[in-house]
Amino acid sequence: MVRAGLQAHVAGRVIARVDVLHPRAIRRHALGPEDFTGRLAGARIEAARRRGKYLWLELSDKEALLAHLGMSGQMLVQPEGEPDEKHLRVRVRFTDGGPELRFVDQRTFGGFALSDLVDADGELLPSTIAHIGRDPMDPQFDPKQAVRALRSRRTEVKRALLDQTLVSGVGNIYADEALWRAKLHWSRLTEKLTNAQGTLLLESAADVMAEALKAGGTSFDALYVNVNGQSGYFERSLNVYGQADRPCPRCGTPIRREPFMNRSSYFCPRCQPRPRRK
C-alpha cells in the first residue's frame, strides 16, 4: 500500500532538497546527514519498489533511498506550506514545486538510509537487502523452488517462514494466519512436510497478504500515502492471531496461545495438532 502510494505520487520527480529534522531518522545512513542530503539533492526518483517488508525509492545512478517504517513511521504527501506535523522527521521537496514527501514518526524507530543498487536474483536490489527472498505475491516468486527450499531446511516451519531469506514479507501475524489456513502446527519440522503441505502453506501466505493489502487499500487517500500498513484487516479478518480462547472459525475449538521466540503463536489445537516426536 505504501509502495503504491509512493509510486503514484513521487516516481518520476526530481528532488530539490531534503531537510533532516531529527538525526535519529537517518542513523542507519553511516556517512551522516550532510552526505545524505548532499547526495539526494538533484536525484531523480525512478520508481518505488518493495521486497518483503523492505521499501525503497530507486534513484538515478544505481542508488536507492531505503525506507524503514519501524513501528509508527508514516509517509505523507502534503502540499508545500502545510503546517508541519508534530513528529515530522524528514522532508523531501521536489523541483516541480508540487506536494512534498514527509516522513513522520512519533517513536523514530524508522528512518532512511542510502544504499547502492546491485544486480541480484535478476533485478536491481539495495545491497543491504540483496539476501532477502521474494514474497509470495511477487509475480516472479517461484513456488516450486520455494517449497523445495522450505523442505530442505532443518527447522520448525514457523521459524522458516519468519526467516525472510526463503520467502519474505511474512511476519508473526501473517505466519499464524497462514499456518491456520494450511492446518499446520507452528512447530512442524520443515523436512517432514509433504510437497502438498508446503505448497498449500505458501499459497495461504500469499492469500493472507493479498487480503490484507485489499483491506488496507480501502482507506487509501490521495494525499495520505499511508501509515505502516496496519489496516482494518487486523480487526476484521484475523482467524487465530490474538484470538486466544475464542472459537476457531472452522471447528469451534478454543484457539490456544503458546510462547514463541519472545512472542506468541496462536493456533487451533484441533485443526493444527502438535506433531508427535519420537
- Interface residues with Zn ion (CB under 5 A) are 248, 250-251, 253, 268, 270-271
Residue 267 near residue 255 (C-beta atoms within 8 A): yes
Task: Tell me how far, at minimum, the Cβ of 248 lies from Zn ion, in Å.
Answer: 3
Nearer Cβ to Zn ion, position 13 or 250?
250
One-letter amino acid at 48 equals A
Task: Tell me how far, at minimum, the Cβ of 252 lies from Zn ion, in Å.
Answer: 7
Look-up of cell digits 551522516: 32
Sorted by sequence, the CB contacts under 8 Å of residue 38 that are 6+ apart come out as none
The sign of the torsion formed by the CA atoms of 217, 220, 222, 228 equals negative
Residue 208 near residue 238 (C-beta atoms within 8 A): no
Task: Tell me how far, at minimum, the Cβ of 277 lies from Zn ion, in Å.
Answer: 22
Nearer Cβ to Zn ion, position 212 or 248?
248
Task: Tell me how far, at minimum, the Cβ of 182 lies from Zn ion, in Å.
Answer: 12
Sorted by sequence, the CB contacts under 8 Å of residue 222 that are 6+ apart come out as none
In eight-state DSSP terms, residue 10 is: H
Nearer Cβ to Zn ion, position 164 or 239?
239
Rounded Cα distance between 249 and 241, Å, is 12
Task: Tell me how far, at minimum, the Cβ of 270 lies from Zn ion, in Å.
Answer: 5
Nearer Cβ to Zn ion, position 37 or 197?
197
In eight-state DSSP terms, residue 24 is: G
Between strands 15-20 and 73-78, the pairing is unpaired
Nearer Cβ to Zn ion, position 244 or 251?
251
Task: Tell me how far, at minimum, the Cβ of 185 lies from Zn ion, in Å.
Answer: 12
One-letter amino acid at 166 equals L
Nearer Cβ to Zn ion, position 128 or 237?
237
